[in-house]
A and B are shown apart, each in its own frame.
Chain A
Amino acid sequence: MTFVREKRLLLGALAFLAVLPLPFNEPRPQGVVDLPFLFFYLLLLSIFLRQAHLGSSWRLPTWAMNVLGLVYLPVFLYELRSVGGSNLVRPMIRLLMLGLLAKLFSMKKDEQQWQVTVLIFFLFIGAMATSVHPLILVYLIGFVVLAMCLLFRFMHFHLLAVHPSVAPRTRPMPVRRLLLVCTLFTVAISVPLFTLMPRLHAPYVLGRGLPLNGGGLSTGFKDEVSLDAVGRVRSNNAVALRLKMERKQAAPPLRYRAAAYEVFENKSWSRALELRDRLRSETPTFFRLVPERPKEKMRIWLEPLGGSNLILPVEAVSVEVSGRLYADASGSVNFLTTPRTMREYRVGLGSEERLLSAAPASDPRSEPTLDRRGITPRIASLAESLVGNLAPAEKARRIERHLADSYEYSLDLVGSDANDPISHFLFTTRSGHCEYFATAMVLMLRAQGIPARFVAGFLGAELNPLEGYFIVRHSSAHAWVEAYLPGIGWKTFDPTPAAGRPGAARPDLSLMLRQAWDYLQFRWDRYVMAYGSLEQFGLLLRLRQFVSGLWQNFGPSETTPEAGPAPFQAPRFELSRIELQQPLLIAAILALLGVLAAAWRRRSRFSATRAYRDLRALLARRDPEVSETTAPLRIYDRVSSRFPEAAASAQSLIQLYLLESYAGQGLAKDETLRARQALRRLRSLLR
C-alpha cells in the first residue's frame, strides 16, 4: 500500500489553498501575483488534481523539468532586474509557484512529496507575510487544518505501509473530530504565544493599499485637487479615519479639516503657501496648536489616504502623536512624509473652532486668499447684487445663505467639462456638489474683497455601536469655505445645502454589516497588525493593575491617586473598556456556529433508521393504525394500500432500513443517496 493517489490529492489541495490570498495582498492594487498568472497556476493545478484523482501514473520527466528551469531562468533574472531589488516578493513568489508546479508534476518518490510540502509552506509564508487583511486569519486556520490533515494522513499511510499487521477497527476513525480538536488546541495555545513572544522591532506593517478602484476614488488631499475630486469620492465607502471620544457621553466634532487651498486655476484648487513650519512639541509627542486648555480629548486612527495631511477637527487645540509635524500658513498640519500605515493620535478639543492660520496680508497682490483668478465679471456682479454694502461678516452669511437656498445639490457632474464650470454652475445648471458651492462662495467673497479659501476635509461621523467609536468614510469627504472676518479672524462657512452634506447613513442591514466588518478590521489593525513591544508592556501593566486591584479588594484600602490627564501612549489593549456588546456579539457568533455545527452533524448523521422513523411518523399522522410498534412490513402494507403512488419509495426505504438495522452493515454512499431521495419523495407524497 503506497497511497500515492491520496497523497497527491492532499498535496494538490494544499497547493491550491496556499496561493489563494496572494492576488489580494500588498502591494496593492496589483497584489503579489497577477490574476492571469494565478489562473494559469490554478489551471495546471486542476489538471494535476484530476490526474491524481484518476490515478494517472504519468510524471513529468526530469529532463523536461530541467528544460523548464533553464527556460524560466532568464525570465526570472529579467524580473529581478526590473524590480531593481526593491521588491523581491513578486518574482520570488512566481518562482516558487512554478517550481511547485514542476515538482508536483514530476513527483515520484516519498522524499519528493516532502520537498513539495516545503515549497507549499514557503508559498504559505509568502501569502501570510504580505497580507494585512483580517480574513487572513480564516486563511491561516484553514491552512492549519488542511496541513494537519496532510501530516496526519501521511503518517497514517506510512504506518499502514510499514506495519502489515493491523488490528481490526471496531469503529471508523473520527478524523474530522480529531482535526477539530487539534485546531482548537492549537489556536488556544497560539493566542498567548503570539501575545507574549518578544518583539525586538517595532511592528512592521505593510500599509493597507488604497481601494482597489484606484487613487481616483480616494480622498487623497494632495497639493492640488480638481473640482470633481470630492464629488467622485462620495461613492467610496472605505474608511478614512476612526475616532473615539475619551469621555463616552461626549459628542464627536462635526468637521474634520484636512487641507486648505488658495489658488483656483484650470478648474482645480492648489496650495499657494509654501510649507512648512515645523511645529514645536512640548514633550516628544505633545504639540500645542492653540494656547488653550482642552475640554475634551479624542483619539483618531487615520488610514493611509495617499496624502501627508494630519486630519484634525476644526476645534483641535492640541495633538499628541509620535513623529514630526509641520504646519503651513493656512493652518493645515502635515506629517513629513505620506503615512503608509494607520496612524494613531490624540487630539485635545476646545469649545469652538480654532483656526491656526494667521491674518492675511493687507496687500491683495501678495495675498493668495484674495487671488482673483476664476472671478468673472458676471460672478462679481452677482456677488455685488447679493451683498451691497454690508459688513464683511454679513456679506459672507448672505452669500452662504443664497447659495444654500437657491441652488440644488447634485452629484451629476454636468458642466464639469465647461470652460468656466463655476459660471456654468451659478448661471446655467444651478446645481452641483459641495466643491462647486464652496468654490463659488470663495470667488464671490474674494470679488467682494474678503479673504477666503477653499477647505477640504470630512463632515460628520457615523457611530459604530459595536465599540462606541465613530467612522469617517471617504464618502463623508466635503468642501467648505474659510473666510477672514476683521475682528473675528478666520471663520468657517458652508454654502452647501443641508441635503447635500454628508449625512448619517440609513441604518439598514448593509450598514450593520459594514460596521461589523469595520469593527473587526479596526481591531485587527490595532491589536494584531500593529501589536508591538509597547503594547506588550501596556498589557503587562494592565495585568499588574488588575492583579493589584484584586489584591486591594482583599487587602487594606489605599487612597486613590488624584486623577489627571493621562499621558499619550501608543495603541494598547483596552481590557477595561470592553463593551457589553462585544461579549454579546461573541456569544451570538458562537451560538450561530453551534447551530450550524448541530445542523451539520444532523445532516452528517443521516441513516436509513432515521429516515424510516421519519416515514413512520409521517404515516402515523395520516393513518391512526400506525404507531411506533408497527412492524416495517406492516408499514409498507399500509403505505401501499392507502398511498399506492408512494409504495415504491416506501419499499426502497424499508429495504434499506432492514439492511442497515439487521444485516449489521452501514449504508454505502449510493444507498444513502437512495434513502434520502426516497424520504424526500415520501415527504412530498404523504404531506
Chain B
Amino acid sequence: MSDTAAAPRLVPEGIRPTKVGVWFAVLTLVVGIAGTNTGNNALYMVLAVMLATLAVSGLLSRNNVRHLEVEVSPPAELFAESGAVFRVSVKNRGRYSSRWLLVVSVSDDSSSTLFPYIPKLESSEGTIELTFEKRGLYNLKAAHLATLFPLGFFRKGMRHAIDCEVLIYPRLRRCEWPPLESGSSLGILDSRRRGWGHELHSLRALRPGDDPRRIHWKQSARTGRLIFMEREAEENRRISIVLDNSLDLSDGGRAQERLEKRIGEAAFTALEYLKSDYQVELITRTTRVPFGNGSRQRKRVLKALAMLEAAPPNARPLSADGVREVRFEV
C-alpha cells in the first residue's frame, strides 16, 4: 500500500512521432542539406524555424500532459459484456497554461474521450465507455493521457495512476421466470401462513391483545364489529436461489461456459424476484447469502455471483432453508 502511495501519479509513456512529424523531420533534413550545401542564409532561416518548431512542438506537447489530475468514476452497477459509461474528470493543475486536445482512455480496448480544452486550474468532465468481458473484480490502475498537441508531430503519452477498483457483475441472462422445476419445489398454495408480512392473509374478529392499528375499518363499518386484518408471513415471499457451482474439471472449458451461463441466469432470476419484493437467498456450494430484500440484498447477491468460483464436486452439499427454491445446475 505504501508502495502505491509513493508511486508517482503521472508516469511518462514515451513520445512517438506521427506520420506528419516524420514528414516534417524529413523536410527539415532536406532544407538543412540545401542550406548547408549552398550557404544560403534564407534557407538557414527556414531551417532554424523548422527546428524551433519541432522543439516548441515537443516542449508544448510535454507540458500538455503534465500537472493533470484524472478521476474516473464508475457507474453504480457494472455487468459483464455490456458497455458501462464511466465519468472521467480531468483537472488542469497547471497555473500558467491551458491544456489542449487531450485524449483520455482507461484501458487499451476502452473507448477514449477527447478533451478539447481545459483552461488553467479548471476541470472538464467527459465519459468513457468500457466493456468488461468477464465478471469479477477489476482494478483499473491507470488512465492513459495522450496528446498530439500542438501541431500533430508527436504523440506524447502519460499514464495517470487512478487505482479504481470495480466489481463486474455477471451478465444477466434472461431465462424463464420463475423457472419451475419438478412439482414440490414451489409449494406456493400450500404453505401460506400467518405472519408479519405485507400481504393480506385473512380477516377475523378483533381479539383482546390484537394491535388496534391493524383493524380493517371499512370491513368493521360494513359488518358492525371490529374486524382484524391478518397478514401473511414473510416466508411466503421467500425464495432460495440454489446454484450448483461444482464443476467436473474433466469437461474443461465447456463446463465453465455452462457455469457462467447458469450464474447469469441465477443473477437474472434473483434480480427479478427482488424486483417483485421477494426475500431472496443465494446458495451455492461455496457461498451463502442469507435471505434479504431490497437494494442491499441485490448488491449482496450480485457481488456473490460476481465473485463466485467453481467448486470441486466434493464440496459441501447444497441445502436450502426456504420453502421455495429455484435450482440452477451446470
Interface residues of A (CB under 8 A from B): 114, 118, 121, 124-125, 128-132, 136-137, 140, 144, 148, 151-152, 154-156, 158-160, 163-174, 178, 182, 185-191, 193-194, 197-205, 528-532
> What's the nearest-Cβ distance from chain A to residue B200, in Å?
52
Q: Which secondary structure dominates where chain A touches chain B?
A: helix
Q: B residues 89-127 with Cβ under 8 Å of A?
A: 90, 98, 100-101, 103, 111-117, 119, 122, 124-127
**A-side contacts of B153, CB under 8 Å:** 151
Residue contact B39 to A167, C-beta cutoff 8 Å: no
Residue contact A151 to B52, C-beta cutoff 8 Å: no
CB closest chain-B residue, reference A137: B45
Residue contact B41 to A154, C-beta cutoff 8 Å: no
**A-side contacts of B125, CB under 8 Å:** 167-168
**A-side contacts of B122, CB under 8 Å:** 170
Choose among B36, B37, B39, B100 the residue with the greatest number of A CB atoms under 10 Å from its CB: B39
> What's the nearest-Cβ distance from chain B to residue A215, in Å?
25
Cβ of B197 within 8 Å of any chain A Cβ, yes or no, is no
CB closest chain-A residue, reference B119: A171
Partner-binding segment picked from B9-17, B144-152, B252-260, B315-323: B144-152
Ordered by A's residue number, 9 sampled pairs between the chains whose C-beta atoms are within 8 Å are A148-B150, A151-B152, A166-B115, A167-B125, A169-B116, A182-B151, A190-B51, A197-B48, A529-B42
**B-side contacts of A178, CB under 8 Å:** 100, 150
> What's the nearest-Cβ distance from chain B to residue A144, in Å?
6
Residue contact A118 to B27, C-beta cutoff 8 Å: yes
Residue contact B101 to A159, C-beta cutoff 8 Å: yes
Residue contact A165 to B151, C-beta cutoff 8 Å: no
Residue contact A528 to B38, C-beta cutoff 8 Å: no
Please tell me which one of the listed residues A164, A170, A190, A531 contacts residue B41 in the complex, with CB atoms under 8 A apart.
A531
Partner-binding segment picked from B53-61, B165-173, B232-240: B53-61
Cβ of B128 within 8 Å of any chain A Cβ, yes or no, is yes
> What's the nearest-Cβ distance from chain B to residue A340, in Å?
14
CB closest chain-A residue, reference B24: A151
CB closest chain-B residue, reference A149: B151
Please tell me which one of the listed residues A159, A173, A182 contacts residue B114 in the complex, with CB atoms under 8 A apart.
A159
Residue contact A128 to B43, C-beta cutoff 8 Å: yes
Residue contact B113 to A187, C-beta cutoff 8 Å: no
> What's the nearest-Cβ distance from chain A to residue B317, in Å?
50
> What's the nearest-Cβ distance from chain A to residue B121, in Å?
12
A131 to B42, CA, bound (A): 7
A156 to B53, CA, bound (A): 18
Residue contact B52 to A163, C-beta cutoff 8 Å: no
**B-side contacts of A171, CB under 8 Å:** 117, 119
Known: A182-B150, A193-B48, A197-B47. A148 touches B117 (CB 8 A): no
Please tell me which one of the listed residues A114, A128, A198, A202 contacts residue B20 in the complex, with CB atoms under 8 A apart.
A114
CB closest chain-A residue, reference B32: A197
A-B complex: 4 closest residue pairs judged by Cβ atoms: A167-B126, A155-B152, A201-B39, A190-B52
> What's the nearest-Cβ distance from chain A to residue B71, in Å?
13
Residue contact B126 to A166, C-beta cutoff 8 Å: yes
**A-side contacts of B34, CB under 8 Å:** 125, 129
A170 to B100, CA, bound (A): 13
**A-side contacts of B42, CB under 8 Å:** 128-132, 136, 529
> What's the nearest-Cβ distance from chain A to residue B209, in Å?
64
CB closest chain-A residue, reference B37: A201
Residue contact A155 to B148, C-beta cutoff 8 Å: yes
**B-side contacts of A121, CB under 8 Å:** 27
A121 to B116, CA, bound (A): 28
A118 to B30, CA, bound (A): 12
**B-side contacts of A197, CB under 8 Å:** 44, 47-48
Cβ of B31 within 8 Å of any chain A Cβ, yes or no, is yes
> What's the nearest-Cβ distance from chain B to residue A10, in Å?
13
Cβ of B40 within 8 Å of any chain A Cβ, yes or no, is yes
Please tell me which one of the listed residues A154, A169, A191, A202 contacts residue B117 in the complex, with CB atoms under 8 A apart.
A169
> What's the nearest-Cβ distance from chain A to residue B282, in Å?
37
Cβ of B29 within 8 Å of any chain A Cβ, yes or no, is no
**A-side contacts of B116, CB under 8 Å:** 156, 160, 166-167, 169, 173
Cβ of B49 within 8 Å of any chain A Cβ, yes or no, is yes
**A-side contacts of B117, CB under 8 Å:** 169, 171-173
A635 to B66, CA, bound (A): 50
Please tell me which one of the listed residues B20, B41, B113 contacts residue A163 in the complex, with CB atoms under 8 A apart.
B113
Residue contact B150 to A165, C-beta cutoff 8 Å: no
A171 to B117, CA, bound (A): 8
Known: A193-B51, A198-B36, A200-B36. 8 other contacts (CB 8 A): A129-B40, A129-B43, A136-B42, A140-B49, A165-B126, A167-B125, A167-B126, A202-B39
**A-side contacts of B45, CB under 8 Å:** 128, 137, 140, 190, 194, 528
Please tell me which one of the listed residues A152, A191, A201, A529 contacts residue B38 in the complex, with CB atoms under 8 A apart.
A201
A28 to B149, CA, bound (A): 42
Cβ of B46 within 8 Å of any chain A Cβ, yes or no, is yes
CB closest chain-A residue, reference B149: A155
**B-side contacts of A187, CB under 8 Å:** 49, 52
Please tell me which one of the listed residues B46, B60, B115, B126 contacts residue A182 in the complex, with CB atoms under 8 A apart.
B60
A635 to B53, CA, bound (A): 53
Residue contact B119 to A170, C-beta cutoff 8 Å: yes
**B-side contacts of A172, CB under 8 Å:** 117
**B-side contacts of A154, CB under 8 Å:** 20, 152
Residue contact A148 to B51, C-beta cutoff 8 Å: no
Residue contact A125 to B46, C-beta cutoff 8 Å: yes
Residue contact B52 to A186, C-beta cutoff 8 Å: yes
> What's the nearest-Cβ distance from chain B to residue A668, in Å?
21
Residue contact A144 to B119, C-beta cutoff 8 Å: no
**B-side contacts of A156, CB under 8 Å:** 101, 116
Residue contact B148 to A148, C-beta cutoff 8 Å: no
Residue contact B20 to A151, C-beta cutoff 8 Å: yes
**B-side contacts of A114, CB under 8 Å:** 20, 23
Residue contact A166 to B124, C-beta cutoff 8 Å: no
Please tell me which one of the listed residues B20, B46, B52, B100 contacts residue A189 in the complex, with CB atoms under 8 A apart.
B52
Choose among B31, B56, B88 the residue with the greatest number of A CB atoms under 10 Å from its CB: B56
Interface flags for B224-263 (1: CB within 8 Å of A; 0: not) read 0000000000000000000000000000000000000000
Residue contact A173 to B100, C-beta cutoff 8 Å: yes
CB closest chain-B residue, reference A172: B117
Known: A155-B151, A197-B48. A165 touches B43 (CB 8 A): no
**B-side contacts of A202, CB under 8 Å:** 39
Residue contact A201 to B46, C-beta cutoff 8 Å: no
Q: B residues 146-183 with Cβ under 8 Å of A?
A: 148-153
> What's the nearest-Cβ distance from chain B to residue A464, in Å?
23
